[in-house]
Structure 1
Amino acid sequence: MAKTFTTTIGGRTVELPGTINSIREALPAPLRAEFEREAEQAGADEISGVLARWALRTPQAHDPEEEALIARLKAGDFSGVHFDDESGDTYRSAG
């Protein structure tokens, strides 16, 4: 059984890959070399933080609803979004 760790993201429990190899395999291919470089250069006191940061970049950590909202906003669809100030710098979704 592969080692994993469990965390809470946005109120939901998520099981993330817990080894260097399983994180590498779960990452999108374009990110793997960057992950390997960072993991290989991390000190003993840094490696757990490096692994946790990269595990959070794997698909398991993503919320499908949040991803859909981000895609909608990137496409220019701001329906249901209410701006908190006149400058439009701060917004929240009504949905």
Structure 2
Amino acid sequence: MDATLKTVIDGELVELPGTIAALRASMTADRAAAFDREIEHLPAAELPAALVRWALAGAGADDEDEALFERLARGEDIGAVDADPGADGRR
């Protein structure tokens, strides 16, 4: 069984490629070339985050994020809460 990464995109559980080879195989030739250029020069400590970013980019997660940011830009209340409970001056 191949390794996978799991996440939720648009309310659905999605399995993403969990190895460098599987991730690269899921890309077009142009994306794979860009991936190779970036990955081979990354410091090892940055590799996990970069692999997740590349995997998510091919899964539609960027589209979901873009839609959310558009809603925020329109001033729509999306139910977000401030991560710092004291940010509004109340304690």
TM more than 0.5: yes
- Residues matched between the structures, number: 69
Q: Which runs of 5+ in 1 are unaligned?
A: 71-83
What is the Cα deviation at residue 91 of structure 1?
Answer: 8.9
- 2:31 corresponds in structure 1 to 31
Structure with the larger strand share: 1
Question: What is the CA RMSD across the aligned residues, in angstroms?
Answer: 2.6
What is the identity percentage for the equivalent residue pairs of Structure 1 and Structure 2?
A: 40
What is the Cα deviation at residue 11 of structure 1?
Answer: 1.4
Q: Which runs of 5+ in 2 are unaligned?
A: 77-91
Matched, 1:90 2:74: yes
Amino acid at match of 2:45: D
| TM norm structure 1 | 0.61
Rounded to whole Å, the distance in 2 between the matches of 1:10 and 1:53 is 17
Does the 8 Å CA contact 1:3/1:19 hold for their aligned counterparts?
A: yes
Matched, 1:62 2:60: yes
Matched, 1:2 2:2: yes
| TM norm structure 2 | 0.63
